[in-house]
Chains A and B, each alone.
Chain A
């Protein structure tokens, strides 16, 4: 069973509490949202790389040459 840790700063006592059913469901929702975000970021990065490669190809220069131009 997943747990959460609570550190009471007034006493120094640490308590480990089992998550409720609702909290476990929230965790799963968060996991799915994080997974969706990861997929979106990967798709965005892939699209950006593809556009960059297409532009370099159109210009007929390499990435290193493009960096040199912008330096």
Chain B
């Protein structure tokens, strides 16, 4: 059977870091998947994602947020990064981490890039959130690097980031 889901690179932080960037992503796959488990040391933290170092206003997103008692939805157009979900922050129960999957189909095609997000915070307490999001990066270049950063503070030690390649088979 052909290998369709391949680990390209990963990193588990051994100390806090302001960002994690996957660079020199090979052009060997059809789609990309990032799986991450993260916690940050800021009080209220969202995760920012950028492609190819682009921090111009080429990103848009539509999102849902649910906490078990209420749901809300929103949209951001022409912003300078994807800001799709909240990550466990310093206010969360100690040693709990959020997790998320980011699916990037057809990352090599010469078209704008739609992105799918699914993230949750886990708190071991009453307050936790589920956050799916649909994103778009308006750029026709192949994706060669992906930057992931908290919008405030640092990712803490133990945060993990995995980049997979998906091949049509």
Contact with B along A26-51 (1 / 0, CB 8 A): 01001101110110000000000000
Q: Which of B14-22, B104-112, B120-128 contacts A (4 or more CB under 8 A)?
A: B14-22
The secondary structure that dominates the A interface is mixed
CB < 8 Å: which of B13, B22, B42 contacts A9? B22
| Shortest beta-carbon contacts, A-B, top 10 | A34-B152, A10-B24, A38-B44, A31-B152, A4-B19, A9-B9, A5-B17, A5-B20, A6-B21, A2-B18
CB < 8 Å: which of B20, B23, B153 contacts A8? B23
Distance from A27 Cβ to chain B, minimum over Cβ atoms (Å):
6
Which residues of the other chain, A, contact B23 by a CB distance below 8 angstroms?
6-9
Which residues of the other chain, A, contact B43 by a CB distance below 8 angstroms?
34-35, 38
Distance from B102 Cβ to chain A, minimum over Cβ atoms (Å):
15
The secondary structure that dominates the B interface is loop
Give Cα A6–Cα B11 distance, bound, in whole angstroms. Answer: 9
* CB <8 Å contact, A5 and B13: yes
* CB <8 Å contact, A12 and B18: no
* Contacts A34-B44, A34-B46, A34-B152 given; does A9 touch B8 at CB 8 Å: yes
Interface size on A, residues (CB 8 A): 23
* CB <8 Å contact, B9 and A12: yes
Give the interface of B toward A (CB within 8 A). 8-11, 13, 15-26, 42-46, 149, 151-154, 161, 163
Q: List 26 A-B contacts (CB under 8 A).
A: A2-B17, A2-B18, A2-B154, A3-B15, A4-B18, A4-B20, A4-B21, A5-B11, A5-B13, A5-B19, A5-B21, A6-B20, A7-B21, A7-B23, A9-B8, A9-B9, A9-B25, A9-B26, A16-B15, A16-B17, A23-B18, A30-B152, A34-B45, A34-B46, A38-B43, A38-B44
Which residues of the other chain, B, contact A30 by a CB distance below 8 angstroms?
151-152
Judge whether A71 is part of the interface by a CB distance below 8 angstroms.
Answer: no
* CB <8 Å contact, B21 and A35: no
Distance from B8 Cβ to chain A, minimum over Cβ atoms (Å):
5
* CB <8 Å contact, A3 and B17: yes
Distance from B90 Cβ to chain A, minimum over Cβ atoms (Å):
12
Judge whether A66 is part of the interface by a CB distance below 8 angstroms.
Answer: no
Judge whether A55 is part of the interface by a CB distance below 8 angstroms.
Answer: no
Judge whether A21 is part of the interface by a CB distance below 8 angstroms.
Answer: no
